[in-house]
Structure 1
Amino acid sequence: MSSKPSPSAARRTFLALSCIAPAFAGAAHAQQAETPERSLGGVTVTDTVIEEGSYKVDKPSSPKFTAPLVNTPRSVTVVPAQVIKDTASASLVEALRTVPGVTFGAGEGGNPLGDRPFIRGFDSQASTYLDGVRDIGAQSREIFAVEQIEVVKGSDSAMGGRGSAGGSINLVSKMPTGERFAAASGAIGTDDYKRATLDVNQPLNDLVGVRVAAMWHDQDIAGRDALFSKRWGVAPSVKIGLDGPTSLTIGYYHLHTNELPDSGIPYLYTGTNAPAGVTETSPARHFTTISGVEVNRPRDAFYGLKDRDFRKTDVDNLTARFQHEFDGGVTIRNTSRYGHSTQGYVWTQPDDQQGNVYGVRNAAGVITAPGNQVWRRANTRYSFAEGLINQTDLFGEKTFLGLKHNFAASLEFAWENAANGTYVSDAATGTAISTGSTVSPRCSATNINRFNCTSVDNPNPNDPWVSYAADGSDTLAGIERSQPKTWTLTQIESYGASLFDTITISDSLLLNLGGRYDHYKVEVSPGLAATSTNVSRTWVSRTDDLWNYQAGLVFKPTPETSLYVSTSSSATPPGSFLAQGSEGNALGTSGSTVNGVVLTPLTAQQLTDQLKIEKTKSYEVGAKANLFNESLSLSLAAFQTDTKNARTTGPNNTVEFIGERRIRGIEFGFNGNITPEWSVFGGYTYMDAKIRDGGFTATTAVDSVTGVSRTLLAPSVNTGKPFPNTPKHSFTAFTNYNVTDRFTVGGGAIYMSKVYGGFQEVGARTIRNGVVVIPSQVIGRMVPSYWRFDANASFKLNDAVQIQANVQNVANKLYYDKAFTAHYANQAAGRTAILTVNVKY
């Protein structure tokens, strides 16, 4: 393929599909009666809006859930608006910390900064949805315009399409309702915390209503030097047909962020300098260097540079949703969305495994790096992602052959496009930003003098770093975006159809079935050299057909309880992350195969043709109950998720799908009210996650016996190791108690056991007499377990004004919340106190 595929056909299809639902439903509009509000347990639902006050939600917003949660044979956690408010959560990451079994991964060069949630051990960055529509661009999501957050656990491709091996996340937007209100909040706190939000809902008449949500946020980060986070956003929407059976809702969302990103804390040891007997390494804190110097890293140590580092993002979404309710309990809904996001950053990665933190000794025993140093490598990225998505849902309740069917059928078309580039010192030549990467050792006198290196225990983010044309040059340069022709381009077109049905066999027995088909095509074009002329892009592509399912049987001893068994699947085709995340099954751009000692190059398309779909299956057995007049929900589940054809390197150094991963666990959840005054939300998750077969690793070396250079394969270091970013134990509990009608107190606890980022052998593999000699010592890069405690209280001055106080991380615990595979871990914020005034009329 020699040129970029045209999106014109995709856009024509999108426009045609967006017309189907209105045309189909328009004739029936005049025949319908007004639809009443629907009561779901302790909350009231009008379209997608959930009233404040409850920690319990009975049914997710998606029509693909064809039964209430108590009758749904899988684990689903819904974070309602009241939990978000009571915990003073201001981002998706903060809100999801209330959900056990969800952790977060760290960004790097190839894996961009932004939300990277892991559900039951699997990366769910590309399985995040907004109002049921995929929201794939790498970004840090705000929640000022979010009504609730829905977390589905277990393989989930039947619901959302490609990916979703461990589950998916759906954010439900605030949309206009028939209620008239104006809500505003203003908050101040420690570390220059400042936040203001606005949420105004105004029916203009019986037919039309508008709603506007807005936010402004500015804060430093507790316990971290120099960092700041600034953002603002607005989300207006209008709905035509407030109370009738037919409605059209149009919404727009914009978010702009500007921050100095945290460079994190480097791990103490690497695979080249770990002392004998060391099996784990954590972020450097108190230690003695290889040269005998004691180092005490300050808690607020920041290794980035204010004169160089930045991160800016913009997100824009335009959504139109048409819905019509027919007589007889059937509804059709069409959702069309255009989304566009951009992200640009220059961000310091601390030391890049160079060994400068602890120090390095060469083979002759000479110390070549004394320790207590950090190299300031610059990771850079400029990217954008855009998508046109159209989804039509038909759902309702019908009786067929004497059995009640609650069904949902869906058709979906998506066109997604992304570009990934970098920041450089000279766009014309594509010269990378000079950070001393060509200098050895990295922390040489020159690099120290140019502030490309700093100390572990006394870094200065105000160092007067300047950009040079090259490591050995004294010519000043700038920092600019690379040329578009150097960017890697990715495009995906997909068509999907799904059908779900909950069949009521009897009052005590339900059968839940679901299936989905996707036709998926992905195309990738690697960037050209900056100095190239008269050169056309080349493209690699592949097309896959995906089939996924879910099935469950529910037994109901009583109307308020259920016992169930279920299974579900997921499929992750090559390139499914749109190059917006950690792509474990990326399309190939170069490579080779090994036949003995001969390397045979393969073209990018040949590599791509070898790829396959990674398939995952989940099994779950559980019980659910609604207690105390259905005001409290309890759930208990045991689960297993298997991937038996994960992408790995095979014994001939080819890409093969022979890897095996398995996770087994149990999960307990609770949410709702124990008494009318006492609300609780949280749960516990145990996960035993193992990489059962990590494939092979190639070793190229001179055979110490024969003297011949060879390339041989031996099992990967990852075989038998735990999943990354997957704690064995995680627990959350949040509670609020209404002491009086005006005064409320509450708090929360979060526990996370040890989390590994990755594993590395200490020393290099060698070859002896035709056999790979594998080092016996392996270190795991990890972050320790931690407890975090929060507290909150609120007082109502009157019916319209409330004062709310939150203290997050009350004990000022030093802990780490993200473990990267190789280089660093992210240090979480220290104690943060926030005072908020909430006003609502």
Structure 2
Amino acid sequence: MTRSTPAASPAFLALACVGFIASAPAHAGPDGPDGPAADNDEQDRGQIVVTGQRQELVGPKATAKLANTPRSVVVLPEEVIEQTGSASLAEALRTVPGITFGAAEGGNPIGDRPFIRGFDSQGSSFVDGVRDVAAQTREVFAVEQVQIVRGSDSTLGGRGSAGGSINVVTKLPVTGSFVKGSASFGTADYKRATLDVNQQLTDTIGVRVAAMWHDQDVAGRDAIWSRRWGVAPSLTLGLGTDTRLTIAYYYLESHELPDSGISFLYTLANAPGTGEIYSEPAIGDITTIAGVTGHVGRSTYYGLKARDFRDATTNQATLRVEHDFGGVTLRNTARYSRNDQAYIFLLPDDSQGNVYGTATTNPTTGDAGARGDVLTGGYVWRRGNTRHGYTEALTNQTDLYGTFDTGSVKHSFAVGAEISWEKARRGTFVSASGSTVSPRCNAATIARFYCTSLFDPNPNDPWVNYASDTSSAVTPIVKGAPITETQNDASTASVYGFDSITLVPSLLLNLGVRFDRFKSTVTPGQAATATSTFSLSRTDNLFNWQAGLVFKPTSSTSLYASYATAATPPNSLLGEGQEGNGLGTTNTSQALALLDSLKVEKTKSYEVGAKAALFDEQLSLTLAAFQTDTDNARVTGPDNTIEFVGKRRIRGVEFNFNGNVAKWLTVFGGYTHLDPKIVDGGYTVLTAPAVGTQAAKPVLVPSVNTGRQATQTAKDSFTLWADLKPTSRLSIGGGAFYTSRVFGGYQDNRSATQTTGGVVTVVPATKTVLRTIPEYWRFDARLGYKISDQVELSVNVNNITDETYFTQAYTSHYAAIAPGRSAFATIGFKF
């Protein structure tokens, strides 16, 4: 462990290789959507005739075919993304079972926060195999496909990836020339246009440009809107030859009024009753503690148009060089990326019981009466979370991969190295929102629109910013002083190797190892009046490995067993996600001792499964059973010190299907059942108040989390998207999506007392509040008709039943609500 002031970023050689997994898109072939088929052909209906190409994995680290890869991998193709009308990565991932989403919380910025197999995978997102750590909301206009690798996979991607990782494969030049595009118009003022142009300028030069413009409100929600545009040009020299150079750039700019959702109804202090109490979002007919009943509709929005906003930009520049030496390829890739984000984000806060209320009547005397404190509920505090900042990354990867034989044993290998530098800097805006007032809601805070009605909020309230919660001086919102900003710097050096060994045609051994040296430094923000800063730094060495054995009873079926590890070092997310194991923000002797004692969180996965490729390898089926164990999680120990003894265990089964059942029926989806359990959540500190000469004493009790379902994780999820083609021109699509109950957090009311003699007693809990969102079903539909071989008209209807449901559960305060029923028509063309 070292402590140093962060230095300027080093310059280093930009040679690298895009690793991880890169895939080719699937096409339905001449009898699919791009080719003729006989209308209502009874002979064809009586048999399965499919001549398309099945989804497959290619790329440096994909040393085996998907059927011969001993782990659960889902490939989400462009066709499904388009058919479901997905306009963002989060929308596309809803079609994959076993993925839930977490909310912006606990310092976690706004952005995609997928949970895979119960583990936060926000920091395990990759674009063409290169880590993309910045918190952001990703688009899909330049996406060829999305690959979800499930199970511990730090061997593939490096640090993190406890539950799996997500790799986005982008659109790059290919042989041939085409022009594709679409224009969509729908309810809630939905407008979207996309363009994808690929031109082969000469025999060896290709260029491709993908572009998008998007503008919409949100169905069933007041005030919310989103606008963005993006472009992704790329150029390849040497197309189709042994030596290729690809230059690519990606730009995305977005502006929106962000939506946080609906407050939870209860806090621990005001939840009525005893035992386990579910605190769900306060929606529908709500009765406060004072007996006042009102209605909270789905459209209810507690934010402020005059204050809330979110602006973000993404810039990525990529250079790839590759050369084929017969059966071996050398690939180098360098990428520079920068993501900027700024927002004031409403968090509809219930932390002081202002939603349900804490008393049946309001005070009329004393200071509380003079302030006009509102204790009877029916109000939401418009807490304003603020953030501005940027994330930069320079990543270089080099891979050498191919095949060779040692006697009768065949090897498909990949070896590589990576070096990267990352920097994340963030600050806050200076804005008053009532955070210094307690209780939150009184006559003054209501008059300033810091608090608003639970039942009838007005997003058009004439809110203005004051110098403080008690000042009457109006002032603009400004960024905090530079010294108040926090900066994280990190560097990574890695080497790795993979080998898929065909011992005999029916038996394959898959091996992989990786070593990472990860150094991170944090320079915490200081008070605006401070004159100096300090830095805390740490270096961790990470070794991970994976092994799997595949037995093939037939050429199109396989049985497998595998083991894999993952390692999440301290400060892995660089402040771009919820960090359970940060480096700290102070330089006291106690804090520095903790910095010295930090440990890497270790995860290991065991998995067995079966795969089959049916109907001329057109339909892929996968069944897997697994267990993932996490050790060294950072928790409070029994002596009130930080210890690394926290444990989590996720057990489950998964079934996935992807491909063509017949030339007229394509399906995608699956079912996941998880048993996500917090085995050891450590301890919680209670305080026995002072009595007589006895000072207050801390008391340690087991965490309320121990033994409970892991948060942000559904036990059961099911997805199905089907596309039926009764004729060569008509297509009928439909989707069904189910997610079981998800918990955001737990809290109980245990307390401690002591006697004048110093005897401490722990008072058992009489109630436990579980903040949760209920299960839901959602149904979508699509109708498409090919006017000609070049033009298709389609109509999508999402959330057909207009179901009111929630997609994210915050640890406390609020839950994110999904849009209502929406519809849009799309005209697509290709030449």
Matches of 1:618 and 1:682, distance apart in 2: 23
Cα gap change, 1:41/1:825 in structure 2, threshold over 3 Å: closer, same or farther? closer
Q: Does 1:291 align with 2:293?
A: no
> Which of 706, 710, 713 is equivalent to 2:700?
713
Cα gap change, 1:517/1:270 in structure 2, threshold over 3 Å: closer, same or farther? same
Structure 1 residue 354 displacement after superposition:
1.7
Cα gap change, 1:501/1:685 in structure 2, threshold over 3 Å: closer, same or farther? same
- Deviation string, structure 1 residues 701-744 (Cα, Å, up to 9, x no partner): 32569743112221111111111111110000000011111110
- Deviation string, structure 1 residues 28-74 (Cα, Å, up to 9, x no partner): xxxxxxxxxx9998679xxxxx9999997542344212111111110
Map of 1:558 onto structure 2: 554
Map of 1:440 onto structure 2: 438
Cα gap change, 1:247/1:7 in structure 2, threshold over 3 Å: closer, same or farther? farther
Matches of 2:354 and 2:51, distance apart in 1: 52
Map of 1:754 onto structure 2: 741
Given that residues 78 and 145 in structure 2 are in contact (C-alpha distance below 8 angstroms), is that contact kept between their aligned partners in structure 1? yes
Matches of 1:102 and 1:606, distance apart in 2: 38
Q: Does 1:583 align with 2:579?
A: yes
Structure 1 residue 453 displacement after superposition:
0.6
Q: Which amino acid aligns with 2:524?
A: P
1:363-762 residue pairs with structure 2 within 5 A? 369-424=375-430, 433-533=431-531, 535=532, 537-590=533-586, 602-702=589-689, 707-762=694-749
Q: Which amino acid aligns with 2:405?
A: T
1:315-334 residue pairs with structure 2 within 5 A? 315-327=314-326, 329-334=327-332
Q: Which amino acid aligns with 1:521?
A: K
Helix, strand or coil for the counterpart of 1:399?
strand
Q: Which amino acid aligns with 2:344?
A: V
Map of 2:370 onto structure 1: none
Q: Which amino acid aligns with 1:780?
A: L
Matches of 2:184 and 2:193, distance apart in 1: 6
Map of 2:239 onto structure 1: 242
Matches of 1:371 and 1:41, distance apart in 2: 55
Matches of 1:826 and 1:235, distance apart in 2: 31
Given that residues 766 and 774 in structure 1 are in contact (C-alpha distance below 8 angstroms), is that contact kept between their aligned partners in structure 2? no
Q: Does 1:796 align with 2:796?
A: no
- Deviation string, structure 1 residues 241-266 (Cα, Å, up to 9, x no partner): 11101100000000001000002111
Matches of 1:269 and 1:562, distance apart in 2: 51
Given that residues 56 and 632 in structure 1 are in contact (C-alpha distance below 8 angstroms), is that contact kept between their aligned partners in structure 2? no
- Deviation string, structure 1 residues 83-107 (Cα, Å, up to 9, x no partner): 0111011000000000000110000
- Deviation string, structure 1 residues 470-496 (Cα, Å, up to 9, x no partner): 111110011111222211110111101
Q: Does 1:813 align with 2:814?
A: no
Map of 1:357 onto structure 2: 355
Structure 1 residue 700 displacement after superposition:
2.8
Helix, strand or coil for the counterpart of 2:91?
helix
1:55-454 residue pairs with structure 2 within 5 A? 57-108=54-105, 110-277=107-274, 279-285=277-283, 286-327=285-326, 329-361=327-359, 369-424=375-430, 433-454=431-452
Given that residues 488 and 523 in structure 2 are in contact (C-alpha distance below 8 angstroms), is that contact kept between their aligned partners in structure 1? yes
Q: Which runs of 5+ in 2 are unaligned?
A: 36-49, 365-372
Structure 1 residue 209 displacement after superposition:
1.1
- Deviation string, structure 1 residues 762-799 (Cα, Å, up to 9, x no partner): 47555562243342311110000000000001111111
- Deviation string, structure 1 residues 647-703 (Cα, Å, up to 9, x no partner): 111122222110110010000000101111100000000000110100011223325
Cα gap change, 1:40/1:589 in structure 2, threshold over 3 Å: closer, same or farther? closer
Q: Compute the RMSD of aligned alpha carbons.
A: 2.2
Given that residues 704 and 747 in structure 2 are in contact (C-alpha distance below 8 angstroms), is that contact kept between their aligned partners in structure 1? yes
Given that residues 181 and 195 in structure 2 are in contact (C-alpha distance below 8 angstroms), is that contact kept between their aligned partners in structure 1? yes
Matches of 2:543 and 2:692, distance apart in 1: 52
Cα gap change, 1:517/1:486 in structure 2, threshold over 3 Å: closer, same or farther? same
Given that residues 41 and 631 in structure 1 are in contact (C-alpha distance below 8 angstroms), is that contact kept between their aligned partners in structure 2? no
Given that residues 590 and 607 in structure 1 are in contact (C-alpha distance below 8 angstroms), is that contact kept between their aligned partners in structure 2? no
Structure 1 residue 399 displacement after superposition:
0.5
Given that residues 254 and 313 in structure 2 are in contact (C-alpha distance below 8 angstroms), is that contact kept between their aligned partners in structure 1? yes
Stretch of structure 1 that moved more, 821-830 or 58-67: 58-67
Cα gap change, 1:508/1:609 in structure 2, threshold over 3 Å: closer, same or farther? same
Matches of 1:612 and 1:766, distance apart in 2: 34
Matches of 2:210 and 2:458, distance apart in 1: 39
TM-score scaled to structure 1, two decimals? 0.92
Given that residues 513 and 544 in structure 2 are in contact (C-alpha distance below 8 angstroms), is that contact kept between their aligned partners in structure 1? yes
Helix, strand or coil for the counterpart of 1:93?
helix
1:25-44 residue pairs with structure 2 within 5 A? none
Matches of 1:540 and 1:272, distance apart in 2: 38
- Deviation string, structure 1 residues 372-430 (Cα, Å, up to 9, x no partner): 10011110001210000001111111102431001111100010001010011xxxxxx
Matches of 2:637 and 2:750, distance apart in 1: 23
Matches of 2:471 and 2:602, distance apart in 1: 51
Q: Which amino acid aligns with 1:405?
A: H
Q: Which runs of 5+ in 1 are unaligned?
A: 22-37, 45-49, 425-432, 592-600
Given that residues 264 and 350 in structure 2 are in contact (C-alpha distance below 8 angstroms), is that contact kept between their aligned partners in structure 1? no
Map of 2:45 onto structure 1: none
Structure 1 residue 820 displacement after superposition:
0.8
Cα gap change, 1:730/1:439 in structure 2, threshold over 3 Å: closer, same or farther? same
Stretch of structure 1 that moved more, 212-221 or 55-64: 55-64
Q: Does 1:5 align with 2:2?
A: no
Structure 1 residue 288 displacement after superposition:
1.2
Structure 1 residue 506 displacement after superposition:
0.7
Matches of 1:766 and 1:669, distance apart in 2: 53
Helix, strand or coil for the counterpart of 2:463?
coil
Matches of 1:175 and 1:208, distance apart in 2: 12
Given that residues 4 and 537 in structure 2 are in contact (C-alpha distance below 8 angstroms), is that contact kept between their aligned partners in structure 1? no
Map of 1:829 onto structure 2: 819
Given that residues 267 and 350 in structure 2 are in contact (C-alpha distance below 8 angstroms), is that contact kept between their aligned partners in structure 1? no
Stretch of structure 1 that moved more, 273-282 or 308-317: 273-282
Q: Which amino acid aligns with 2:322?
A: Q
Cα gap change, 1:376/1:577 in structure 2, threshold over 3 Å: closer, same or farther? same
Q: Which amino acid aligns with 1:384?
A: Y
Question: What number of residue pairs does the alignment pair up?
Answer: 796
Q: Which amino acid aligns with 1:6?
A: A
Map of 2:38 onto structure 1: none
Helix, strand or coil for the counterpart of 1:634?
strand
Cα gap change, 1:751/1:706 in structure 2, threshold over 3 Å: closer, same or farther? farther
Matches of 1:742 and 1:42, distance apart in 2: 17
Structure 1 residue 361 displacement after superposition:
3.2
Map of 2:41 onto structure 1: none
Given that residues 711 and 743 in structure 2 are in contact (C-alpha distance below 8 angstroms), is that contact kept between their aligned partners in structure 1? yes
Percent of residue pairs bearing the same amino acid type: 53
Q: Which amino acid aligns with 2:314?
A: V
Q: Which amino acid aligns with 2:514?
A: R
Q: Which amino acid aligns with 1:582?
A: Q
Map of 1:29 onto structure 2: none
TM-score scaled to structure 2, two decimals? 0.93
Cα gap change, 1:683/1:365 in structure 2, threshold over 3 Å: closer, same or farther? farther
Map of 1:428 onto structure 2: none
Matches of 2:763 and 2:52, distance apart in 1: 56
Matches of 2:670 and 2:810, distance apart in 1: 26
Given that residues 231 and 251 in structure 2 are in contact (C-alpha distance below 8 angstroms), is that contact kept between their aligned partners in structure 1? yes
Matches of 1:701 and 1:655, distance apart in 2: 21
